[in-house]
Amino acid sequence: MAVHAFQAFRRSSGALRRRHLAAAASCACSLLASGCAVDGEGPAAGEQTPVASGFGELHLALTGALPGAAAFRLRVYKGAVTNPSQTPLQDFGCKAYGGTESNKLIIQDLEARSDYAVLLDLFEDGACTKPRYRAYRGAIAVTAGSGAAVKENPYWLPTVEFGKLSQMAQVKPALNDTAASKTCSIDADCQGIHVNATCGANNRCKVDNLYPLNGWSRRGLPSSVALDDGRVAIVGGLSVLTSGMWAASAEQVEVFDPRTAMMTSRLVKNAGSPVAMAEAVTLSGGAFAMVGGTSRAKVLLSPGKLTAQLDTEFCAAAGSGNCAVTESVARWTVAVSGESAAQQFALGLPVAFPAAARVMTPNGERLLVAGGTEVPISAGFDKRRGKAMLCKADASQIVCDEETNKAMNAGRANAAVACIAHDASGGCTKVALFGGRKSPTSPLTEIYDAAANAFVVASDIGAPPQDLHGGRLFPVGAGKFLLVGATAKKLFLEDTELAVSGAQPIYLLSVDTTAAAPVITWKPLDLGAGAGQDGGKRLLAAAVQLADGSVLISGGLDASLAPIANALWLSPDGSLRANITSNIARFGATASRILGKGPLAGCAVLAGGFALGTDSALAPQNQIELFCPNP
């Protein structure tokens, strides 16, 4: 059965928009002196108005030994930390780190508020000059009155080790052992163990996650986008396996908020069907575009074989509304507080894997939506679209009627896209589309010139690949780009079963737009032995660019289609900076960098993907990992 595409109406209310853990959050609030900061739909911790109704104490103990830490600096703030110059309420200075029990600090007589933040830096040296770890948490409540119940429940600070992939909150094994010993019929049977406990398929309780201190919904092949205010939205993803097909998560979006270091899960009014594999493109005004995607797909992994196929069962009748492949372009706004909403523009037919990029045209900023393929896929007939459209998005609507059939030079689906020229204000004026063609007889690369509103074919020289599909491009200097995660296979399209990944190497591209016909120079990179056996050839890896231009490529499938349990950190020149062990061998994850100036700004949020479960079956992931480069 297909998940129906709908363009209808989502009605949200306070009750509707509360998350699964609303009960937990509200209970927490009842214990705290002031308003709740953890309910996904409540005000953000850094923005709420705290209620002062007495005074309390803040006990700070650095329990949990951190290897290699010699000293620490602990600061307490009133309100979330959003910039490094913010004055702390209390700065304990540089103190020797004694391990588990020796560092206990108490601040007495604090005004009862729910918006305190604690920032803890740990250093390798006693003088606090070589940072090793950072722990941060906002939305901490100091309560008045009897705090007996609260003090049994310390606030947990997510702790990241610089230059490593760090996990967020993990379920204590003993807790899950306890849960597994209890039989259940419904989730409520398990609530006495932990509020996040649910009744598993084997009628045993389990604690699957510690949301909001980690992700909630399991998401394979989700999208993510960095929002202007520092939050990272993780959108969609395949979540539930039914009748051999994965269905996208109805939990539309979860947001990592660096002001609280917690996740919030939100419903988005008028968002349409849940999707996976959509292109999420940052727009102005804190919004982002959702282009492409599918609500259902087949993804199976067995030794030496990957099955990856769109569900196009109901896609024959265009506009039927039942096709799993998205038929619209959307603008989403995920509010910090209040209602999150989306506007949709119906394309009139399902289009899979279009390319999308933000461009600055003579008429203002637009969203370029180029190519894609109509479905169902036909082996003998190329349905790739050689057309592009421009969409105008504002706070009230998204409309794609200005330019609806701009001719491209090739039909392309799942092309890699990059902005290769900017105007003085930073707007993108030229967008390059790489690959995604069905046949090498079509041009590999073409460029959209926003000023001329035309596509021109680029000359590809050096060592360009014949077959190129997918991948992400990152600017690493003047006219230089790193292309990572591309493959020679038409994954999810004509190539539905792979015996080898077909992953392409990482390419360093030099783009010369000074000539009338742009020239692209392709250079495959040899990362050396440090990159491991895959050498950077990774299928369905997550990639993100960090503030210094370096690129982190995490997970993916190697040549033999085995999930990879490490990340490659590349310098902007394409050299390998580090090979970093991951906590989870996963592929099909997503990653975005935290913007802003807070203590976690510059870190990357890695989310979702598939891993192999204990039964060797694919398991979508809800685990968040943070990667913070050395400060």
Question: Considering the rule CB under 8 A, would residue 28 count as an interface residue with other proteins?
Answer: yes
Q: Report the nearest approach of other proteins to the CB of residue 211 (Å).
A: 9
Question: Considering the rule CB under 8 A, would residue 171 count as an interface residue with other proteins?
Answer: yes
Contact range with other proteins by CB under 8 A, out of 105-113, 394-402, 565-573, 598-606: 105-113
Q: How far apart are CA 318 and CA 570, in angstroms?
A: 44
List binders of other proteins among 107-136 (CB under 8 A). Answer: 107-112, 116, 118, 120, 135
Helix (H), strand (E) at residue 122:
strand 113-123
Q: Report the nearest approach of other proteins to the CB of residue 213 (Å).
A: 6
Q: How far apart are CA 96 and CA 82, in angstroms?
A: 27
Is residue 608 within 8 A of residue 220, CB to CB? The reply is yes
Q: Report the nearest approach of other proteins to the CB of residue 338 (Å).
A: 16
Question: Considering the rule CB under 8 A, would residue 315 count as an interface residue with other proteins?
Answer: no
Is residue 34 within 8 A of residue 53, CB to CB? The reply is yes
Question: Considering the rule CB under 8 A, would residue 299 count as an interface residue with other proteins?
Answer: no
Question: Considering the rule CB under 8 A, would residue 16 count as an interface residue with other proteins?
Answer: yes
Q: How far apart are CA 205 and CA 149, in angstroms?
A: 25
CA atoms within 13 A on the CB side of 416: 27
Helix (H), strand (E) at residue 422:
strand 416-422
Nearer of residues 33 and 420 to other proteins, judged by Cβ: 33
Token pair for residue 346?
Answer: 């119906």
List binders of other proteins among 414-453 (CB under 8 A). Answer: none
Contact range with other proteins by CB under 8 A, out of 29-37, 456-464, 513-521, 557-565: 29-37
Question: Considering the rule CB under 8 A, would residue 73 count as an interface residue with other proteins?
Answer: no
Q: How far apart are CA 541 and CA 519, in angstroms?
A: 28
Is residue 30 within 8 A of residue 38, CB to CB? The reply is no
Q: How far apart are CA 269 and CA 397, in angstroms?
A: 13
Q: How far apart are CA 332 and CA 614, in angstroms?
A: 36
Q: Which of 47, 57, 125, 548 binds other proteins (CB under 8 A)?
A: 57
Is residue 524 within 8 A of residue 506, CB to CB? The reply is yes
Is residue 369 within 8 A of residue 357, CB to CB? The reply is no
Token pair for residue 433?
Answer: 């589309």
How far does CA 504 lie from the centroid of its chain? Answer: 23
Write phi, then psi, for 452 (nearest 5 degrees): -90, -10
Token pair for residue 416?
Answer: 């890699």
Phi-psi region of 277 (alpha: psi -120 to 50; beta: other; left: phi over 0): left
Cα angle, residue 294 at apex, residues 335 and 386 outer, rounded to 5° = 105
Q: What is the dihedral of CA 548, 550, 554, 558, to 10 degrees?
A: 180
Nearer of residues 240 and 565 to other proteins, judged by Cβ: 240
Nearer of residues 270 and 545 to other proteins, judged by Cβ: 270
List binders of other proteins among 257-296 (CB under 8 A). Answer: 262, 267
Handedness of CA 161, 162, 165, 168 (dihedral sign): positive
Q: How far apart are CA 624 and CA 495, in angstroms?
A: 30
Contact range with other proteins by CB under 8 A, out of 102-110, 326-334, 518-526, 614-622: 102-110
Question: Considering the rule CB under 8 A, would residue 317 count as an interface residue with other proteins?
Answer: no
Nearer of residues 436 and 620 to other proteins, judged by Cβ: 620
Q: Report the nearest approach of other proteins to the CB of residue 478 (Å).
A: 43
Q: Report the nearest approach of other proteins to the CB of residue 155 (Å).
A: 5
- Coil, helix or strand for 498? strand
Q: How far apart are CA 71 and CA 3, in angstroms?
A: 54
Q: Which of 47, 83, 99, 102 binds other proteins (CB under 8 A)?
A: 102
Q: How far apart are CA 251 and CA 235, in angstroms?
A: 8
Q: Which of 86, 88, 90, 229 binds other proteins (CB under 8 A)?
A: 90
List binders of other proteins among 236-255 (CB under 8 A). Answer: 239-240, 242, 247, 250-251
How far lies 396's CA from each of 43, 311, 343, 368, in Å? 23, 32, 7, 19
Question: Considering the rule CB under 8 A, would residue 55 count as an interface residue with other proteins?
Answer: yes
Q: Report the nearest approach of other proteins to the CB of residue 80 (Å).
A: 16
Question: Considering the rule CB under 8 A, would residue 472 count as an interface residue with other proteins?
Answer: no
Contact range with other proteins by CB under 8 A, out of 176-184, 300-308, 426-434, 611-619: 176-184
Contact range with other proteins by CB under 8 A, out of 167-175, 373-381, 386-394, 410-418: 167-175
Contact range with other proteins by CB under 8 A, out of 194-202, 407-415, 514-522, 524-532: 194-202
Token pair for residue 43?
Answer: 């005000």
Contact range with other proteins by CB under 8 A, out of 43-51, 185-193, 352-360, 530-538: 185-193
Q: Which of 49, 61, 84, 404 binds other proteins (CB under 8 A)?
A: 61
Question: Considering the rule CB under 8 A, would residue 88 count as an interface residue with other proteins?
Answer: no
Q: Report the nearest approach of other proteins to the CB of residue 517 (Å).
A: 44
Q: Report the nearest approach of other proteins to the CB of residue 295 (Å).
A: 8
Q: Which of 179, 308, 400, 493 binds other proteins (CB under 8 A)?
A: 179
Strands 566-570 vs 576-581: parallel, antiparallel or unpaired? antiparallel
Question: Considering the rule CB under 8 A, would residue 101 count as an interface residue with other proteins?
Answer: yes
DSSP 249: -
Q: Which of 75, 132, 164, 194 binds other proteins (CB under 8 A)?
A: 194
Strand partners, 428: 422
Q: Which residues neighbour 153 within 8 Å (Cβ) at sequence distance 6 or greater? A: none
Question: Considering the rule CB under 8 A, would residue 170 count as an interface residue with other proteins?
Answer: yes
Question: Considering the rule CB under 8 A, would residue 169 count as an interface residue with other proteins?
Answer: yes
Nearer of residues 109 and 478 to other proteins, judged by Cβ: 109
Q: Report the nearest approach of other proteins to the CB of residue 182 (Å).
A: 5
Nearer of residues 334 and 416 to other proteins, judged by Cβ: 334
Q: Which of 207, 334, 417, 567 binds other proteins (CB under 8 A)?
A: 207
Q: What is the CA radius of gyration of the chain?
A: 25
Nearer of residues 264 and 521 to other proteins, judged by Cβ: 264
Question: Considering the rule CB under 8 A, would residue 187 count as an interface residue with other proteins?
Answer: yes
List binders of other proteins among 356-375 (CB under 8 A). Answer: none
Nearer of residues 7 and 510 to other proteins, judged by Cβ: 7
Q: Report the nearest approach of other proteins to the CB of residue 424 (Å).
A: 40
Q: Which residues neighbour 379 within 8 Å (Cβ) at sequence distance 6 or greater? A: 494
Handedness of CA 580, 581, 584, 585 (dihedral sign): positive
Question: Considering the rule CB under 8 A, would residue 49 count as an interface residue with other proteins?
Answer: no
List binders of other proteins among 549-608 (CB under 8 A). Answer: none
Q: Report the nearest approach of other proteins to the CB of residue 119 (Å).
A: 11
Token pair for residue 557?
Answer: 């499938």
Is residue 348 within 8 A of residue 411, CB to CB? The reply is no
Number of amino acids touching other proteins (CB under 8 A):
119
